[in-house]
A and B are shown apart, each in its own frame.
Chain A
Amino acid sequence: MSSKNLILRRIREALGDNPAQPEIPRDYRRAAEAPVDLDLLVERLEDYKAVVHRTSDISDAISRIVGDGQVVAPPGVPVEWLPRGSKTDNGLTAAEIAESDGVVTAAAVAIVETGTIVLDASPDQGRRILSLLPDLHICVLRPDQVVASVPEAVARLTPGRPLTWISGPSATSDIELNRVEGVHGPRNLHIVLVEEAA
C-alpha cells in the first residue's frame, strides 16, 4: 500500500466516531466599517520602524530618499519615478540586485490595522528576489490600495500569485523576545504614500 493510501486509511479509521461538522462562526469583523484612516496607517507603519513620506511628488520623494545611491526597479514601475542611473529588472542577476543600494516597487494592498503592505509580483512590484536583497526598499502606495483590516486584504488578493506580506523592516524577536530591527531582509523600509496634489 502506498503511504498516501496508508495515511488516508489511518485518518478514516481515526475519524470512525464521525466527529461533528461545526459551523464556522464568522461574526468577527469582515467588512469595512468606516472610511480607511490613513493617519492610523502612518502611525502603525512608523510604530514598526518604517519611514513614511506623504507627498504628491513621487519622484521627488524617491530621489531624496535615494540620494546618490543607485536603485533597481521592476519593469512596471514608471520610469519618471526613478532617479537617473536606475536599473530596470529585465533579468538582472542576483549579484546585480544585491549590489544596488535600493529597490523601488509599488504594492498590491496595504492594511491599516497591522501596518502591513502586500506585494503580489505584478509588473510594478516585480519578482520576489528584487525586493529582498537590497538593504533599502521604497514602496509607493496609493490611497485606494489601503484597506482597514486583514479580512479585507485577503479578499482583495489573488492566491495563485507569489505574495509577500511586509510589516516594517526585517526584525527579530529572538534575543530576549524583544523586537530588534535589521537581520536578513531590507533594513530600511520607506513608504511613499501618494496624496492628491493640492
Chain B
Amino acid sequence: MSTHAPKGVGHLRGDEPFPAAAKVALANPQLRRNLQHATTTIRGKSGRVIAELPDWQELRSAGSALKAYTMANLPRLLEQLEEKVTAAGGVVHWAADATEANRIVTDLVRRTGEQRVIKVKSMATQEIGLNEALEEAGITPVETDLAELIVQLGHDKPSHILVPAIHRNRSEIREIFLREMPGVDPDLTDNPPDLAGAARRYLRETFLSTRVAVSGANFGVAETGTLAVVESEGNGRMCLTLPDTLITVMGIEKVVPAWADLEVFLQLLPRASTGERMNPYTSMWTGVTPGDGPQNFHLVLLDNGRTAVLADEVGRQALHCIRCSACLNVCPVYERTGGHAYGSVYPGPIGAVLSPQLTGVEDNSSLPYASSLCGACFDACPVKIDIPSILVHLRNQAPHPRSEKAAMAAAAYAMDRPRVYERAQKAARIAKLLGKRGRGLPPPLNGWAASRDLPEPPAETFRDWWRGR
C-alpha cells in the first residue's frame, strides 16, 4: 500500500489553489520583470552551451533510459548503496516520510551536542520542512547558498528550484542585506560582486566554527557508495569538508546504478540548469576518509510519497527529474506567475506533476491545470520527462466539479441535435447582452470565463449564411 507525503509537515501544499495565488503574483509588475529578465538570460545561456555538444540528444536518451532502469531496479540499487556507504564508514538511515526524516536528523544533531548546523541548499530538506523541525528543537539552521540566504534573511519563500531568490533583483537583495545582515557594510552597493562579497564575509566565521552540516545529494552511486553535490559558490565544499559530522538527506529516486553513469548526468545537469559547460564545483565523497573531511557521515534515504509516485505507471517518470529547473525557465505560465503561486517547494511544470503525486492529487488538484500544455518543458527536459502527458493524466484523476460534468453533458446533447444547437447559437448572440466576451456569464460558468475570453459570436452563423445563398 503506497502512502502519500503526510499533511501538516513540510512544504508540498499551498495555502490556496493555483489560480488564486497566481492572481496575486500577476498583479506584481516588479516580480514579472525580474522573472522575465532572469528566465530570458538563462534560456539564452543554456541554449548556447547545449548547441556546443553534437551528442546532446544521445545524452538525453541515455539519461532517460538510465532513470527508467533505476526505477525498475530500485530495491536492489538502494540496498547496494546502503551496503557500499556502510562499508566505507557511513551510517545509512531510512525515513518513510518527512516526520521520520526530521526526527532522525534532529536526533543526530542533538547527539553531537551542537546548537547550530550549516546547510547546503537541498530540495529534499526544504520539502520535509527540516529547518522548522530543527528550530523547534532549539537548533539553528544556517542556509549557506546565496539565494537561500537571501530568502532566509528576507523572511521569504523560495520560488525557483535552482535560484530560490529569482524573484528578487539586485537592488532588492541589497536592501535585504542592509536590513538583515549583521555587521554589513552600510555603503554596500547593488553591484553583484559586492553582494557576493558581503555573503562571503558574513558566512566565513560560521563555516569555520560550525561542527555539523546538513546537505542533500544530486547523485548517490549504488556501485561505489559515492555521493555527489553539484554547486557553484563553494558553500557546498565548505559544508562537506569543514564540519566533523555530515548528514545527507537524499530522495530514494536519486540513486544512479554505476560510477560510469555520472558521465551522462554531469554533462546534462550543468548545461540544462545554469547554462554552464560545468558548474564551478562538484564534490564527491564515499563514506568517511580518515584525515580528510567529516569523520562522521550519515545518509538519510527519504520516501515521503515517492513510492506513491512510483506506483503510477504514467506518472512515475516524474521521479526521473534531476532538479535542473530547465522546465521552469521555458514555461510561459511560470514566467508570469513565478514559483510561489504553485504553493510547493517544487514549482513550475515539474512541480505541477510532482507535487500532486507526492501529496495525492486531491491535495493539489489545481496544479495539473497550471499549464497551457504547450510542450516547451518536454523539449527542454534533459532526461526527456513527458510532462504534458503526465499533466493530462493527472487532470483525469483530479476531482471535477459536478457543474463541469453537467455543462459538458448539455453541450453534447445540443451538438447531437441540430435544432437545439441552432437555438443555442441564437442564444449566444443574445448572451452578448449579458456582458463582454463571457464576463457576464452566470455561475458556475463565470469561473471558467474568468481567465478566458469567449470568441465574439459571428453576426451571421454558417447555417444562416447557407440558407441565404
Contacts and interface: CB of A to CB of B under 8 A. Distances in A.
Interface residues of A, number: 74
Contacts of A3: 94-96, 100
A31 to B, nearest CB: 11
Interface of A: 2-4, 6-8, 10-17, 19-30, 44, 48, 94-95, 98, 111, 113-116, 121, 127-129, 132, 150-151, 153-155, 159-186
A150 B261 CA distance: 11
Given A3-B100, A24-B65, A174-B163, A155 B192 contact: no
Interface of B: 1-3, 34, 37-39, 41-42, 45, 54-55, 58-59, 61-62, 65-66, 68-69, 71-75, 78-79, 82, 88, 94-96, 100, 144-147, 150, 162-163, 165-166, 169-170, 173, 192-193, 195-197, 199-200, 203-204, 207-208, 221, 223-224, 226, 232-235, 237-238, 240-242, 252, 259-260, 262-264, 266-267, 270, 274, 276-286, 289, 291-293, 301, 303, 307-308, 310-311, 313, 316
Nearest to B92: A4
B281 A185 contact: yes
A167 B55 CA distance: 21
Given A29-B55, A128-B237, A162-B289, A94 B242 contact: yes
A44 B276 CA distance: 11
Contacts of B266: 150, 154, 165
Q: Which 10 A-B pairs have the closest CB atoms?
A: A185-B234, A184-B234, A183-B233, A14-B311, A10-B307, A114-B278, A165-B282, A174-B147, A151-B263, A14-B310
A25 B173 CA distance: 45
Contacts of A164: 237, 281-284
B196 A175 contact: yes
A55 to B, nearest CB: 25
Given A27-B62, A159-B286, 9 more contacts: A11-B75, A154-B259, A160-B224, A163-B285, A166-B281, A167-B280, A173-B232, A182-B196, A184-B207
B72 A21 contact: yes
Contact of A171 (B62, B169, B233, B285): B233
16 contacts: A7-B96, A13-B1, A19-B71, A27-B58, A111-B278, A115-B277, A159-B223, A163-B284, A165-B266, A166-B280, A174-B146, A175-B195, A176-B34, A181-B193, A183-B234, A184-B234
